[in-house]
Structure 1
Amino acid sequence: MKQLIHFGYQQAMSCLFPAIIFLTLAISQMIELPLARYDFILIICLAAQILLVIFNIETMDEVKVIFVFHLIGLALELYKVHMGSWAYPEEAVTKVFGVPLYSGFMYASVASYMCQAWRRLDLRLTNWPSSWLVFLLSGAIYFNFYTHHFIYDFRWLAGGLVLVVFFKTIVHFTVNQRSYAMPLSLSFILIGFFIWVAENIATFFGAWQYPNQGQQWEVVHIGKISSWLLLVIVSFLIVAMLKHVKAGYVDKSGRQGMEGRKFN
């Protein structure tokens, strides 16, 4: 029980940035604001990011990773809103082509959680596959979010490839100086599920709106777990590759030296 409490505390601290976003969504829906709601959320997200750095809760290296995810997420948002996958119905000054700029922070918050959890739980990966294979798989999963509107949706094929490629990969983490391990694929599924739960909370507070939620709020279709699962995989792989590049453990074959090494 002591280990579980300690693990829960570290997870809660890792979720600090997402928690701030959820709290802002809830408060901004319940009170009258002197400015547009989406603009207010953006200001709070920027202020939160600055304060997290000032109080050394996040490092500058982590902020760089978060910024990359902000751009990746914003690009996806612009495309998905244009294709009618979901919408941001409220008015705001900081909306570009129908997408409020704060939306990128929702993707950035996933990266924030991963970076924080990696550092706080001292993550280590063993049996990591070749770098080129990870890069190709990440690119294929990400671009499928764009291409499935025009050609076959390869998400299930991509999910199957993930299970094959990372079948032997194990993530090791430390809780209160005691080490634990689990298959990396299982961690993807767990994180994807909890993000789907978070998505339900976010849409309930009006962060964005799916077509079937126009009249009243409904639970997000459970099939969306597969989308979040793939997004989690891409996010984790990008964070992992950036960690490896920083660590500099690359041998002549291009295989990143993961075995038993720590990336903080």
Structure 2
Amino acid sequence: MNSITRLLHFGYHQAMSCIFPVAIFGTLILTSRVEVPFIHRYDLILLILLTVQYLMYRSGLETLDEIKVICVFHVIGLMLEIYKIRMGSWAYPDPGYTKLLGVPLYSGFMYASVASYMCQIWRRLKMDMTGWPGLASAGLLGGAIYLNFFTHHFIPDFRWWLTALVVVVFWRTWIIYRVQDRMYRMPLTLAFFIVGFFIWLAENIATFLGAWKYPDQHETWHLVGLSKISSWFLLVIISVIIVAQLKHVKAGRS
């Protein structure tokens, strides 16, 4: 009975941590089925997501520190989107007033939702880490991963070398989390892969609903290639590095 109770407790906090990602997908579904007059779809999505974020903060579901992390990741994601659009990786074909260099501003929230989930689940499950490699190693690796998203268009793609480095750098790093009175732990690299896989599933839903389109999806929707899991795997690492480092800094100050 205790095991079932802990499982339900774990599921509840996972679901609560996914409120913002669920709001994004709910908005995508709603706006793909219902056309609102006098406002473009991309602009409406941005307005809804800003409202959701404000309500989450006012209700206490997200703290001010978590909002700051989400904003940082929103900017990181938006910069990557602008570059990828210019390189022809995917497109946002619909019109909108809230587009910057061809990219709707709401797109940054899709990246920020990963950070929102990480912040929420960290707090709810009282997470901690053992064997954290430190700011120098983690920061340099995170910077190299982010840079590779830009540079692989004109120099060789180093994602598999970077993946190998992730295993080396985080080999001794474990996530510790608590479910009621029981403590559990998991290798950090395994957590990276699990979250990356579920983001890949979410990406398929998002492209199906027209949030954006890859070049081979303009005529007919196709399943996003499995190779994209590696991209999300690496992107999740960046979000974890940012969240974990800020948590370490705050813990050191308290």
Per the alignment, residue 45 of structure 2 pairs with 41
Question: Which secondary structure state, in structure 2, belongs to the residue aligned with residue 134 of structure 1?
Answer: helix
Task: Work out whether 1:8 is the aligned partner of 2:27.
Answer: no
Unpaired runs of 5+ residues, structure 2, are: none
2:133 to 129, 140, 164: 129
Give the letter for the 2:124 counterpart. Answer: R
Q: What percentage of residue pairs aligned between the two structures are identical? A: 60
1:60 aligns with 2:61: no
Shift of 1:2: 2.2
Query: What is the alpha-carbon distance in structure 2 between the residues aligned to residue 152 and residue 204 of structure 1?
Result: 30
Give the stretch that moved more between structures: 152-161 or 128-137. 128-137
User: Which 4+ stretches in 1 moved above 4 angstroms?
Assistant: none
Please give the residue correspondences for 1:1-264 in structure 2 after superposition, counting only pairs within 5 Å. 1-34=4-37, 35-248=39-252
Q: Normalized per residue, which structure has more helix?
A: 2
CA distance in structure 2 between the aligned counterparts of 1:179 and 1:133, rounded to whole angstroms: 27
RMSD: 1.0
Q: CA deviation at 1:177?
A: 2.4
Whole-angstrom CA distance in 1 between matches of 2:139 and 2:27? 35
Q: Deviations over 1:204-255 (max 9, x none)?
A: 1111100010011111001000000000011101111111122227xxxxxx
- TM-score between both structures, scaled by the size of structure 1: 0.93
Give the distance between the partners of 2:55 and 2:144, measured in 1 at CA.
35
Deviates more, 1:127-136 or 1:42-51: 127-136
Q: How far is the alpha carbon of 1:58 from its aligned partner? A: 0.2
- Aligned residue identity for 1:192: G
1 CA distance for matches of 2:248 and 2:85? 34
Matching residue's letter, 1:147: T
What is the SS of the residue equivalent to 1:215?
Answer: coil
Gaps of 5+ in 1: 250-262
- The farther-off stretch of 175-184 and 156-165 is 175-184
1:25 maps to amino acid: L
Q: How many residues align?
A: 250
Instruction: Provide the rounded CA distance (Å) in 2 between the counterparts of 1:115 and 1:32.
Output: 33
TM-score by length of 2: 0.96
CA distance in 2, matches of 1:11, 1:130: 27
The C-alpha deviation readout for 1:168-203, integer Å capped at 9, x for no partner, is 111010112211111111000000000000101111
Which one-letter code corresponds to 1:88 in the other structure?
Y
